[in-house]
Every structure is written in C-alpha cells, then in structure tokens.
C-alpha cells in the first residue's frame, strides 16, 4: 500500500525558475476560502514542481508527479496546469495567495522534507513512497486551509497503489533513463526560421503551435481550422497558404498572419501588452478584440491595456454586452481567448527555462 503521511512544515528552498517571472494573472482568491470546490469551479488544478524534476517530452512538461497528478485531475474533471517552481519567496506567495493549488516534487530520503526554511508559509505535506525505485519519497504540499483538497489527494493516492507503481515504473524503472531532448518538436527549424522573420523568439511560436495542435500537422478542429497552426481556410487564403496541412506552409502562413496582427496593434496599445492583443486576435479574431476595446472606451476605461480589454472581451460572452451599440461582431467565447493567451505565455516561459534559445543548440529534423 502506498505510504501517505501528513505533516505541517514550511516550504523548501529550491532552484529559482519560473514563478518569479510568470505572466500577470487575475486577482488571486482569498487563500482562506480557496479549496477543492473553488478549484473544480475554475476547472484547473495548478501545481508547481521543482525545475530539476521536470523534463520535456514532445513539447509537454512531464515528471512522475505531473503524470500522477494528471490522473488525479482527470478524475476530478479538471485540467492540470504544471508550472516549474520559481524562487522560494514566489512559491510561498503563489501558494498562500491561491495562484497555485499545490507545490511538490521534493524527493528526499526521509518521510518529510529535510531542507525546511521557515518563511512563515506553513503547508500540509503528503509524502508518497518511491523506495522500490530508489527515489526515497516525493512530497506534495497544499495550504492548511485547503482541507478538502488535502483529504481528496491523500485518499486518491492511497487508493491508487497500482497506478502509482505503473507511473513510477514509467519514470524510474529504466536502468538508464532516457534523457530529455533539447528539441521541442520535429518542426523546431520551421519555428526558428519564421521567428527570425517575425522578430519573435522561436520558442514563443512553438508554444503557440503546441497550444493550437499539440504539434499535430494533421489536426482539424470543429470550427474548420487546419494543421499545425490551426489556420482557418479563409485566413489561409488571405496569407497565401495553399496547403495548410503542410507543416512548413502552416508555420509560414501563421507568421504572416501574426505579422499583420502586430502591425494592426502596433502603436495603438501599451507596448508591453501588444503580444497579448496579438495572441488574442489570433485565437478569437481581431474584430472581437476591437469590440472589447470599444466597450472599454465606452465605459470610460483604458482600451490600450490588456487587463482592461480582457475583462470586456470576456464580457462579450454575455448577450447583454454582445448587443451593446459599439459591438460590431456579436458574442464570442472571450473566456477561451483569455485562457489561450495565458496558456501560450505560460508555456513560452516554461520553454525558455528548459530549451536553449540558439538554433545551433537544437537539431532540426525535416518534416515527414
């Protein structure tokens, strides 16, 4: 049976990584009231893991803890959002403020983590034995106030001993673990070439491609979007992409479309927010984002700032605002555009930590 133990300790000191530079997020919920019901209502389980336990597989972050919690998330019917853990101060703030729901992946030889640093950030630890695989224990932490989440995780882990062992064997059962690749995908060369033309870090294009299609060049959406970058047929024609299912043409066409969107928003919005406007326009269409700008201005707010326009883009989901006189493109699923922007930027931040920027460090494979 899986060993699950509980202890109140403070957070660990770990390698500085991403929570120090994560994108701005909406105001965090009160930590004293944020628990499993709120997590399920939001539809996301947000877990931060130490950088040295996380690797990349086909563009996705993976680790024993991430795979195990992926099964938990599926049973809870929520998405799993894995974030490489940042500085100890940032991790502590993120947990207590409710911007993440758990931190974990601290592997030690004892039943509780030893490298404890008292930063006034108490947590509840659940430790899972990995001794059969020579890994000691791994620990997950939640806020003491998240009692339902703690109990649910503990019960789930204890009742899933066979699954835990299968996941552990997948990660630790090999005599020589397969090293993580420095490649994100077989299309990295395409992203690098398009990124140079567009003036983007190629890893940002890769993050967008993963969000669009999980690097599947044959992907087709219910809305008719096609290929690696999910170009709609009309958009593909506009940018001269004759074969959107060809990965090279898809990336090149997406880069041309992104260039148009950059030119559309350049000088009209705050420079530091321009990328969010471009990504949202790519996802939901620039007309809907323009509507959100007009709604912001009509309500006396700053239509040049993404945090303001994002609110009104989400408001266009509601029929009342979608029928406002300044709205020209009707209702849209604005909340999905917000999630898209946040997901792409967060994945880009992860890729920047895990994959070198220079093309010379990345092997380029021709597309099949």
Overall residue count recorded for the chain in this entry: 368
Element holding 320 (H helix, E strand): helix 319-322
Judge residue 262's burial from the number of C-beta atoms within 10 Å of its C-beta, 0-12 exposed, 13-18 middle, 19 or more buried: middle
CA distances to 76, 233, 330 from 322, rounded to whole Å, are: 33, 26, 5
Distance, in Å, from the CA atom of 202 to the CA atom of 156, rounded to the nearest integer, reads 40
Q: Which residues contact 193 (CB under 8 A, 6 or more apart)?
A: 251
205 contacts 251 by C-beta, under 8 angstroms: yes
| C-alpha neighbours within 13 Å on the C-beta side of residue 155 | 8
Active site residues: 212
Cα 171 versus chain centre, distance: 22
Distance, in Å, from the CA atom of 368 to the CA atom of 357, rounded to the nearest integer, reads 24
103 contacts 87 by C-beta, under 8 angstroms: no
Residue 317: how many CB atoms within 10 A of its CB?
Answer: 15
User: DSSP per residue over 201-244, as a string?
Assistant: -HHHHHHHHHHHHTT-TT-B-TT--BTTTTB-HHHHHHTT-S-T
């Amino acid at each position: 049976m899986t060993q699950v133990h509980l202890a109140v300790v403070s957070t660990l000191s770990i390698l500085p990584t991403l929570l120090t530079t994560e994108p701005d997020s909406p105001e965090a919920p009160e930590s004293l009231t944020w628990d499993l019901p709120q997590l399920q209502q939001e539809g996301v389980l947000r877990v931060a893991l130490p950088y040295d336990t996380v690797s990349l597989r086909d563009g996705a972050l993976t680790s024993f803890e991430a795979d195990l919690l992926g099964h938990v998330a599926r049973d809870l019917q929520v998405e799993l959002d894995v974030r490489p853990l940042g500085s100890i101060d940032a991790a502590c703030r993120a947990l207590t403020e409710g911007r993440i729901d758990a931190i974990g992946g601290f592997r030690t030889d004892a039943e509780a983590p030893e490298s404890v640093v008292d930063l006034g950030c108490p947590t509840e630890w659940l430790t899972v034995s990995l001794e059969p695989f020579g890994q000691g224990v791994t620990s997950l932490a939640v806020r003491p106030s998240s009692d339902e989440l703690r109990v649910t995780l503990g019960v789930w882990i204890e009742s899933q001993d066979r699954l835990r062992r299968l996941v552990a064997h997948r990660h630790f059962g090999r005599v020589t673990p397969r090293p993580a690749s420095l490649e994100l995908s077989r299309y990295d060369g395409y992203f690098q070439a398009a990124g140079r033309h567009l003036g983007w870090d190629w890893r940002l294009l890769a993050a967008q491609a993963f969000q669009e299609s999980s690097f599947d060049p044959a992907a087709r959406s219910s809305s008719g979007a096609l290929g690696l970058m999910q170009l709609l047929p009309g958009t593909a024609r506009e940018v001269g992409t004759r074969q959107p299912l060809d990965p090279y043409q898809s990336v090149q066409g997406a880069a041309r479309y992104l260039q148009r969107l950059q030119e559309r928003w350049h000088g009209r919005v705050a420079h530091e927010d321009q990328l969010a406007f471009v990504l949202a326009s790519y996802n939901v269409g620039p007309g809907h984002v323009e509507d959100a700008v007009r709604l912001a201005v009509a309500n006396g707010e700053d239509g040049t700032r993404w945090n303001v326009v994002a609110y009104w883009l989400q408001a266009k989901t509601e029929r009342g605002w979608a029928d406002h006189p300044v709205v020209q493109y009707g209702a849209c699923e604005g909340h999905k555009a917000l999630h898209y922007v946040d997901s792409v930027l967060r994945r880009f931040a992860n890729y920047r930590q895990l994959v070198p920027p220079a093309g010379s460090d990345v092997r380029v494979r021709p597309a099949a």
